[in-house]
Amino acid sequence: MIPEAVIGMLACGRIGAIHSVVFGGFASNELASRIDDSKAKVLLTASCGFEPGRTVQYKPLVDEALKLASHKIEKIILYQIPNNEVKLNPANEISWDESLSNAKNVDCVEMNSNEFAYILYTSGTTGIPKGIVRDIGGHIAALKWTMKNIYNIDKDDVWWSASDIGWIVGHSYIVYAPLFKGCTTVLFEGKPVGTPDAGAFWKIISDYKVKSLFTAPTAFRAIKKEDPEGKFFSKYDLGSFESLFLAGERADPDTIKWAESLLNVPVIDHWWQTETSWAISSNCTGIEMMKTKYGSACKAVPGYNVKVIKPDQSIAKPNEMGDIVVKLPLPPGTFPTLWNADERYKKTYMTNYDGYYQTYDAGHIDEDGYIWIMSRTDDIINVAGHRLSTGAIEEVLSEHQSVAECAVIGIADKLKGQLPIGLIALKAGVQKDNETISKECIQMVRDKVGPVAAFKTAIVVKRLPKTRSGKILRGTVRKIADKEDYKMPATIDDPAILDEIKQDLIKSNILK
């Protein structure tokens, strides 16, 4: 989250190169899989990054990824963070400063509108990341339109998206949309709490006269936890501030109401995905403000024809639950394909419901057209607004030599929305103690997926609950962990296992 990272992205645009930004919280393994899939020619990094309480050394992470990747990167450009300089290999590594000192000015390259601006990898249902691609023309047209119509931002306004450029929110609303609109964007290398305190957001808004802020609900839950009475808030003048936008995960009504009463401005929950790059549903503040319904992400934005479909392919009636889909064609700016994977694109998104894009979100639309996003229909979970695949974590756990089988589920968490927990059943005859195995599994996920997975719980269980056909009953276990009502699945192989799991969850302090 330093200016050089954004300059790097824009420099790619200038010369017509495709960029792919990788979030710093991923492990080398994830970076390697992105290098292999994208076949990148040049890698740009910084020597390190700063997280509250620790410095993340990026160079060793990158070195390890380059070792793991089969594709060979030609050149590495590294920005030396002051006082954290690292040694470079002169054969193919060059510092940012040195590369600038040798650089010549080049003109912008003219591109066709349907060529690609970037690839952004996102979690799919397996460990193989999906490269969402963005075309140039549709991207510019759509994002520029959203700044005024959804966010009510004009050219002279100051806009702040408190996300990270490693995510879609950062791509669209830290870097590109403000640029297309010509307004000022704030790039914040910090967190809502702990850098240095729960007043950081209010200080930035007040110092830079920010008109609107866009962040994830988890950021507000973090502030609320540290400063429930808003003591920090009262220290700053927020006269410039007009609205708060939330997305990335379900915004719980309590958080929205708390933010509204503290800030005294509209708090708008809107829904979108890496695939679309801009909001599918929102209160469009630049067109006409609609009434807030707490828990709903408001109505479809112009360009999206959103429907709810039932398993028998019929369109759901108002308030009936089902899969949320968007009628084709999708509007400009949404993904035209997956990087080098046209078939996967069609099969994953466009096949299950003929003529519709499948969002993999489930919910309902009410009688007034308000959209209610309730859950994912695949194995994706949302941890502090970060999109993760439980399948990818399971793949890592399965590699542990003592693990026979495993299940990862996302359980409700007051701060991060969801947190992954793993249930692991061991191979027969394993001698190692459970605690050691559990610690090793946690470390493996950190090493292979990254700290961003926030994977801190791996419970050794005797066996996993399954259907008679062998499908693990992850949904039922999640309901037990979240103390939700559940029906005993008719196809369950051995109902007694659910009780065993319940006891294990109690012992591990997950279920209180």
Give the interface with ligand AMP as residue ranges (CB under 6 A): 122, 168, 247-251, 269-274, 297, 359, 361, 373, 376, 382, 387
Q: Of 292 and 359, which has the nearer Cβ to ligand AMP? A: 359
In whole angstroms, how close is the CB of 332 to ligand AMP at the nearest point?
Answer: 18
Q: Does 56 bind ligand COA (CB under 6 A)?
A: yes
Task: Write each residue from 451 to 490 as x if it is in contact with ligand COA (CB under 6 A), else as -, in one continuous string.
Answer: xx-x------------------------------------
76 binds, among ligand AMP, ligand COA, none (CB under 5 to 8 A by kind): none
Non-local (6+) Cβ contacts of 302 within 8 A are: 149, 284
Q: What own/partner pairs with CB < 8 Å and gap ≥ 24 does 234-241 have?
A: 235/199, 235/202, 236/199, 236/202, 236/203, 236/205, 236/206, 237/206, 238/202, 238/205, 238/206, 238/263, 240/158, 240/205, 240/206, 240/209, 240/210, 240/211, 241/205, 241/210, 241/211, 241/212, 241/213, 241/265
From the list 350, 480, 481, the residue with the least C-alpha distance to 413 is 481
Q: Of 42 and 265, which has the nearer Cβ to ligand AMP? A: 265
Q: Of 410 and 422, which has the nearer Cβ to ligand AMP? A: 410
Q: Of 23 and 353, which has the nearer Cβ to ligand COA? A: 23
DSSP 27-64: -HHHHHHHHHHHT-SEEEEESEEEETTEEEEHHHHHHH
In whole angstroms, how close is the CB of 450 to ligand COA at the nearest point?
Answer: 7
- Which residues between 244 and 263 bind ligand COA (CB under 6 A)? 248
Non-local (6+) Cβ contacts of 208 within 8 A are: 158, 160, 184, 186
Residue 317 has a CB neighbour count (10 Å cut-off) of 12
- Which residues between 16 and 35 bind ligand COA (CB under 6 A)? 23-25
In whole angstroms, how close is the CB of 293 to ligand AMP at the nearest point?
Answer: 13
Q: Does 137 bind ligand COA (CB under 6 A)?
A: no
Cβ-contact 370, 298 below 8 angstroms: yes
Part of the chain binding ligand COA (CB under 6 A), chosen from 74-82, 160-168, 262-270, 365-373:
160-168
335 binds, among ligand COA, ligand AMP, none (CB under 5 to 8 A by kind): none
Rounded to whole angstroms, the Cα distance separating 95 from 86 reads: 10
Cβ-contact 312, 290 below 8 angstroms: no
Question: Which residue matches tokens 């040798």?
Answer: 102
Q: Of 27 and 459, which has the nearer Cβ to ligand COA? A: 27
Q: Of 236 and 294, which has the nearer Cβ to ligand AMP? A: 294
Q: Of 48 and 133, which has the nearer Cβ to ligand COA? A: 48
Q: Does 124 bind ligand COA (CB under 6 A)?
A: no
In whole angstroms, how close is the CB of 269 to ligand COA at the nearest point?
Answer: 13
Torsion of CA 118, 122, 124, 128, to 10 degrees: 70
Q: Does 422 bind ligand COA (CB under 6 A)?
A: no
Cβ-contact 86, 78 below 8 angstroms: yes
From the list 96, 417, 494, 436, the residue with the least C-alpha distance to 252 is 417
138 binds, among ligand AMP, ligand COA, none (CB under 5 to 8 A by kind): none
In whole angstroms, how close is the CB of 257 to ligand COA at the nearest point?
Answer: 19
Residues that bind ligand COA (CB under 6 A): 23-25, 49, 51, 56, 163-164, 167, 169, 191-193, 216, 218-219, 222, 248, 384-386, 451-452, 454
